[in-house]
Amino acid sequence: MPVPVVFHSATLLHNPGPGHPERPERIEAVLAALRAPDLTATIEWVEARPAARDQLERVHSPAYLDTLERLARGGGGALDADTVMSRDSWNAAAMAAGVAIGAVERGIERGSGFGATRPPGHHALAGRAMGFCLINNVVVAARHGQQLGKPRVLIVDWDVHHGNGTQALVERDPSIRYVSMHQYPWYPGTGAADERGVGNVFNVPRPPGLAREVYVRDLLAAVDAALEGWPPDLLLVSAGFDSLAGDPLGGFTLTPEDVAHWTSALRARVAPAPVVGVLEGGYRLDLLAAGARAHVGALA
């Protein structure tokens, strides 16, 4: 059965400025890779709708959302040293959250799905943007999945950076479990192994440069710990491809084949629960494209 890939051209419109790593070409590279002729029978393309305000407010404060919308309406500006809005960034962010929501909806129907989200989201807090992230797409998706009758949600994050925003948003909620493997110490400085939330957080901090087999093994071991006695109704992957060897913002040694292996292993572990990927980081375009292709191929 084809994998639904949810997208929207509005995600191209967010423009943090010349030289910024989180550039529009990222989503172009992902979509081009997934439109390769040999994947035609593997993918069903689905155009997203923007997230509704109430869907965003399940995760973010109204005052924060007002600030983002107002800043974009005024032409944009910097939210912190790394995170910059342009005139169209609010529309892009609302659409990215809508992409994640659409991926969950289709994933529940079909068993798997992928959301080509941009800007990324896993650093965004309830009331603060950071780390290139405006809206926490994966937590918006998790809350939407719960609204659709999937009360227990597992989020697995293999982006090379710790998803501090995701952890902060779910760490007091036992209905969501969060597994993250990330380079440590590294931006944003969170994600120590002893950060456990209410027993629902499973961090796997690792140094750069280890053998790829170590990263592969250790993430799956943490997933197994999270699943013990707790079968999820929905699995969301914060799919950051900056964990691949050669990405300029990380030091892990993984390959696209490892991404495919992880994806297949996760599907087997949580079956029959749906598995839905949500794009996070990845800043070398060829690696980003190859990682997305491997992930979606394994979802099929």
Active-site residue numbers? Answer: 123
Lookup: tokens for 271: 């079956």
Distance from C-alpha of 237 to C-alpha of 295, rounded to nearest angstrom: 10
3-state secondary structure 8-38: CHHHHCCCCCCCCCCCCHHHHHHHHHHCCHH
Distance from C-alpha of 261 to C-alpha of 93, rounded to nearest angstrom: 30
Residue 232 contacts residue 154 (beta carbons within 8 Å): yes
Residue 116 contacts residue 99 (beta carbons within 8 Å): yes
Phi, psi of 131 (to 5 degrees): 55, 40
Lookup: tokens for 137: 């797409």
Provide the 10 A C-beta neighbour count for residue 173.
Answer: 17
Distance from C-alpha of 125 to C-alpha of 163, rounded to nearest angstrom: 10
